[in-house]
């Protein structure tokens, strides 16, 4: 998986062949074919793994956050922040997300829960859930692409999250307040409990 992710970060999806994945992973072609029959299967598996891993991390960090609008803002900002910190990861995800429905579905499940809760709590006023989902995913991936291409502004994550919240129906003041809240610390998920 890591080898395929590295390739996707460097090359367009349609340019990748299974023998290249094998070479990048330093394994035989036969080994790759034991697990995957086509390039599409490899790309789908990589996309699902990337989307699931980071979305699950964000969910774990947001466990104590009950506001759907705040959880949505956290997710948007953390994906943008990861893009700023890890351009190869962002490049790979951006190439795969537009390629595979399964990857989009994994991301959509988390976003839809937050959209629904945000609407239920009165923070959002959108009418069409599908369009709201497209808005969040498109704006977030667009911001990630801008970062990878070197077009990042100061507080890019906060500005994008604020604009998304406003587009979903949050008042300007509420959107600004939510988007500016501190992010949960990644270290909280990675820490082992202290021995007793």
pLDDT of residue 99: 63
* 26 pLDDT higher than 80: yes
Number of domains in the chain: 1
117 in a domain, yes or no? yes
15 in a domain, yes or no? no
Do residues 71 and 179 make contact, with C-beta atoms less than 8 angstroms apart?
no
End-to-end CA distance of the chain: 37
Give SS3 for 127: coil
Identify which has the larger pLDDT, 93 or 167.
167
Instruction: Give residue 157's domain range.
Output: 43-184
* 191 pLDDT higher than 60: no
Is the pTM value of this prediction over 0.85? no
How far apart CA 97 and CA 3 sit, in angstroms, is 18
Residue with structure tokens 């460097």? Answer: 10
CATH number, position 48: 1.10.357.10
CA dist list (Å): 130 to 3, 8, 112, 116, 133: 34, 28, 9, 11, 5
pLDDT of residue 186: 60
77 in a domain, yes or no? yes
Query: What's the rounded mean pLDDT across residues 35-62?
Result: 80
Give the number of C-alpha atoms closer than 13 A to the C-alpha of residue 83, restricted to the C-beta side.
Answer: 28
CA dist list (Å): 116 to 1, 28, 37: 33, 47, 38
31 in a domain, yes or no? no
13 in a domain, yes or no? no
Give the number of C-alpha atoms closer than 13 A to the C-alpha of residue 93, restricted to the C-beta side.
Answer: 28
Average pLDDT, the chain: 84
pLDDT tens figures, 106-155 = 778 889 999 999 999 999 999 999 999 999 999 999 999 999 999 888 89
6 in a domain, yes or no? no
pLDDT of residue 187: 46
**pLDDT confidence bin for 65, thresholds 50/70/90:** very high
12-16, 40-44, 158-162, 181-185: the lowest-pLDDT one: 12-16
In degrees, to the nearest 5, what angle opens at C-alpha 128 toward C-alphas 122 and 144? 90
pLDDT tens figures, 75-119 = 999 999 999 999 988 888 887 776 666 666 777 888 999 999 999
CA dist list (Å): 6 to 9, 43, 82: 5, 11, 16
């Amino acid at each position: 998986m890591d080898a395929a992710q590295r390739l996707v970060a460097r090359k367009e999806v349609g340019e990748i062949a299974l023998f290249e994945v094998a070479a990048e992973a330093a394994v035989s072609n036969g080994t790759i074919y034991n697990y995957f029959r086509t390039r599409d299967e490899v790309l789908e598996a990589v996309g699902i793994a990337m989307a699931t891993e980071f979305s699950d991390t964000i969910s774990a960090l947001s466990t104590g956050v009950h506001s759907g609008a705040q959880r949505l803002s956290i997710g948007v900002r953390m994906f943008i922040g990861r893009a700023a910190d890890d351009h190869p990861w962002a490049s790979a995800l951006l190439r795969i997300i537009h390629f595979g429905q399964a990857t989009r579905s994994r991301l959509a499940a988390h976003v839809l829960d937050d959209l629904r809760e945000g609407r239920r709590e009165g923070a959002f006023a959108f009418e069409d859930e599908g369009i709201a989902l497209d808005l969040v995913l498109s704006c977030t991936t667009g911001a990630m692409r801008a970062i990878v291409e070197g077009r990042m502004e100061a507080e890019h994550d906060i500005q994008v999250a604020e604009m998304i919240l406003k587009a979903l129906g949050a008042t300007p003041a509420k959107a600004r307040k939510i988007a500016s809240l501190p992010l949960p610390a990644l270290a909280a998920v990675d820490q082992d409990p202290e021995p007793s």
